[in-house]
Amino acid sequence: MTLFTILIALAVFILLAFFRATIGSWLLAIVVTSVVLAIETRLPGTPLMILYAVLAIVTLLFGVPTVRRHVVSGPVLSLFRKILPPISDTEQEAIDAGTVWWDGELFSGHPDWNRLLAFPKCGLSESEQAFLDNEVEQLCAMLDDWDITHRRADLSPEVWQFIKDKGFFGMIIPKRYGGLEFSAQAHSAVVAKVASRSGTAAVTVMVPNSLGPAELLLHYGTEAQKDQYLQRLAKGQEVPCFALTGPFAGSDAGAIPDFGVVCKGEFAGQQDVLGIRLTWEKRYITLAPKATLLGLAFKLHDPERLLGGAVNRGITLALIPTDTPGVQIGRRHFPLNSAFLNGPTQGRDVFIPLDYIIGGVQRVGQGWRMLMECLAAGRSISLPASSAGGMKLAARTSGAYSRVRKQFNLPIGRFEGVEEPLARIAAHTYMVDSARRFTALAVDLGEKPSVVSAIIKYHATERGRIVINDAMDVHGGKGISLGPDNYLGRFYQQTPIGITVEGANILTRTLMIFGQGAIRAHPYVLKEVAATREQDREKALQLFDDALFGHVGFALSNTARSLVFGLTGGHLIPVPEGVILRRYYQQLTRFSSAFAMSADLAMAALGGSLKRREKISGRLGDVLSQLYLCSATLKRFADEGRPEADLPLVHWAIQDALYKIQQAFDGVIQNFPNPLVRLLLRVMIFPLGKCLQPPSDQLGHQLAALLMLHGAVRDRLTAGIYLPTDESDPVGALEAALASTLQCEPLLEKLHLARKAGRLTELEELPRIAQARDAGIITAGQALLLERDYALRRKVIMVDDFAPEELQAAHP
């Protein structure tokens, strides 16, 4: 009977944890269970009295809030303050910046899938779609990427003027200032389409609409600053840039040595103007060589306290016309043969008035937070969009090339060795584009998703690297031979740029995704940290007590849920009505609970040292990232009406992500320094072992076949890129060659059989077609089709070559 009672008690405790019971419910369950056990075991008087005394003490300590705060929470708060790793001002501002969105659901351990599916569908307004179909289409038609990157090392003057005249620099600027006032989704769609044609043009368009003067002015500028600059920026009368990175402050941008000193000086012929004397050295600044308006981040000092307050005022932002005396611009960097304008800027003892500070004097010292909030929005759009555009181009062209190009009388895409990269290309493109749309939707909903923006920036660029590497492998010699007919080479060369900028990917993965997410997106950690900074002791105790015991219940719940879900495989987890991919929702919920539990255990066991355990935090970040990417994929599939033909894309993408989650958890477990925590994690997450497998070869075969056929799936996958119809264009020729190949294959098979039978003796293809026509094997019309097919295939397969003097002229 006692064993049965113990099992019942354990079941009750698991249920309490599972449903996140209050501390009162826990105490009641403990008291009742203890009394029942004492009665059943017939404890003698003295032990029974001791038990009752212990229960009374436990109830007093944990059940009476006033006592609990001072006896339990107070000492824990003191310990927490000692072990909490120091957080610099810039780190704190980065944590405080932005908002928590779907990442909060994933950190909860119990994501609300109905909320996910209830988010608005991604889409464009009529005017936005019209701009994409007209102005963006016209811009893409004007772009010759070989001319841009090889001959000019810049956009042509006509393209520059078109971009300015058509408002490409003003996509985020409201209409009242002459801008287009596009949604984030439209902004993203424009960048993606341009990126599918030219990386240089995409960067030129996206930078003025990302982290820069326009974004900062919209959120923080004074009305006078907005009136002065926004209309000129929208019309392209000003070319903006923003300078943050310098030689001694790259990823650690908060350590910028550039400084300004508040003083009085001469400006525009006036004496004793209160202003700032600036000294800076920046590099890697996009559009700087041609900029007319320079945004600048620097540390402000006020040694004479002319502004009042402290001497060291912190990071501050200013907007400076580049014709200001002392501003140096014009020289260029040359990032991996890319032609977008990027270069250094310097200035020494450059005097500017105080009204050049973005937001005015009241924004002094707020620069880092301003940057982090704007970066969260900008990073959610620009780099994911440019990566997605390039990935779609790689997917469409690789599929077509694999069908057109033959070896051993077989399309190369039918070789299993080629099917593997084609499957990866298709699935990664589908998932990244899903996340691009979903994240842009967050911005349109008013979010500034700091953690989510780090996830999408990292995975869009990393998966972009995988896709372009696979595409280059598929294309072979066609991919490595640069020239006017190479549509992949520059994308391949420029891929590391996106991986490096706006937070290098190594740092983003190991420090930002989990490191920032564990504090920002966790439902209790930020509250606990905030309580340690509260100076009022009673208020600090109350805040910390509420957060601490909420956190305890949260941790117990996710521990219980992880174990139950692990034992049942998550089969009992409820999912939204009408979904056809219920197992994926269930597995993602299971891993969300396991992730929340693992995060709490890692923070509890490692404390401040977790900040330096970048391999563990990186793997935990991988779990969070895959959960987010899968969420975006499921959302897209639902929004598009759950087309059955797209299921192979969804299956491969999510099965791959789930397998990577499993492997990331296994890496955390195997490398966790505490053996007891290792054991606990393995039992709670994988009580029955690791059961997930990567996508099957058969599924990969289906994806490869979809890429090599004209059809709705291929069109949906690559929707939104520029597709020229001119057969003199290499991509246009490839599209025509694919259609021709599919049409002419039965005719080519007829010629092949006739040749085997000895009816055709010509060794070359064109004479053989003529011979077949003359012999009545094919009609004259069919012969014309085959001759055109041969010409298209030849154009697609051939690579560029040059006279030596042509290359010497381009590279003197």
Catalytic residues: 502
CB 191 within 8 A of CB 390: no
Rg of the chain (C-alpha set): 31
- Neighbouring residues of 164: CB distance < 8 A, sequence distance ≥ 6: 235, 236, 237
DSSP 598-616: HHHHHHHHHGGGGGG-HHH
Q: Pull the structure tokens for residue 571.
A: 């089969």
- Neighbouring residues of 649: CB distance < 8 A, sequence distance ≥ 6: 426, 427, 430, 703, 706, 713, 717
> Residue 282 belongs to what H/E stretch?
strand 270-286
Q: Give the span between the Cα atoms of 713 and 706, in whole angstroms.
A: 7
CB 718 within 8 A of CB 425: no
AA identity, residue 614: E
Q: Give the span between the Cα atoms of 412 and 396, in whole angstroms.
A: 15
Residue 294: beta bridge partners? 241, 320
DSSP 761-802: --SSHHHHHHHHHHTTSS-HHHHHHHHHHHHHHHHHH-----
3-state secondary structure at position 657 = helix
Q: Give the span between the Cα atoms of 296 and 166, in whole angstroms.
A: 27
The tokens 């059989």 sit on which residue? Answer: 753
Name the phi and psi angles at 181, rounded to 5. 50, 50
Single out the residue of 297, 309, 300 nearest to residue 368, CA to CA.
Answer: 297
Q: Give the span between the Cα atoms of 665 and 690, in whole angstroms.
A: 10
> Residue 257 belongs to what H/E stretch?
none
CB 491 within 8 A of CB 737: no
Q: Give the span between the Cα atoms of 282 and 348, in whole angstroms.
A: 12
Single out the residue of 498, 404, 516 nearest to residue 457, CA to CA.
Answer: 498
Name the phi and psi angles at 809, rounded to 5. -70, -35
In a 13 Å sphere around the CA of 624, the CA atoms on its Cβ side amount to 36
Q: Pull the structure tokens for residue 709.
A: 């056929």
Single out the residue of 405, 471, 396, 472 nearest to residue 792, CA to CA.
Answer: 405
Q: Give the span between the Cα atoms of 206 and 191, in whole angstroms.
A: 6
SS (H, E, C) 674-725: CHHHHHHHHHHHCCCCCCCCCCCHHHHHHHHHHHCCCCHHHHHHCCCCCCCC
